[in-house]
Amino acid sequence: MGIVHHGTYISYFEVGRVEYMRRRGLDYHSWTELGIHLPVVEAYVRYRRTARFDELLCIETRLSELSRVKVRFDYRLLREPEGEVSGMPPHPDEQLVAEGHTLLACVDQHHIPRRIPPEAEAVLLGPELDIPARIGADGRPRHAAATGHSGDDSAPQKAPGERVAGSKS
């Protein structure tokens, strides 16, 4: 059919989430070495438009909730604009492919819930470092020119958001 399978959108969200942490100087592997794991306990996707194979997409990731043991990320998957059509810039909502969220719980190596350490909270709420990336065809981030950033000042936690662009086939 030439369209992206519905389950793949969760993978796009994961790439955005991992990149969100990486841009704050934290790779997931270093957390696991500290005995901190963040399994997804809830995922939600609202499909707005069809994504096609080999289409350039951007994922906007925003930390929207941080409690003692839970972290929630909100996502917007956007079609990369192809420029102006008929002299009119594309409306942002016309480019929205999907939106959703994931809820993660902090657990230790034995899968017992634990409080998110203060150092981890500081990283999650901290500023984004200047390390832009693109998603390669294999779904992994790769370094490239800046793709732009976006935030949502209406977020419950006014954490910075980010946008990761790339192609996925």
pLDDT tens for the 169 residues of the chain, in order: 788 999 999 999 999 999 999 899 887 788 888 888 999 999 999 999 999 988 899 999 999 999 999 999 999 999 976 654 445 565 555 689 999 999 999 999 999 999 998 888 998 999 988 765 544 444 554 443 333 333 333 333 334 445 554 434 3
**Exposure of 39 in the CB half-sphere (CA atoms within 13 A):** 10
Residue range of the domain that includes 37? 8-81+90-168
Say how far apart CA 32 and CA 140 lie, in whole Å. Answer: 19
The pTM assigned to this predicted structure is 0.72
Q: Which pair of structure tokens corresponds to residue 127? A: 């500023």
CA dihedral 132, 135, 147, 55 (to 10 degrees): 180
**Domain-embedded: residue 70:** yes
**Domain-embedded: residue 20:** yes
**Domain-embedded: residue 1:** no
**Domain-embedded: residue 2:** no
Domain count, the chain: 1
| CATH number of the domain bearing residue 34 | 3.10.129.10
**Domain-embedded: residue 26:** yes
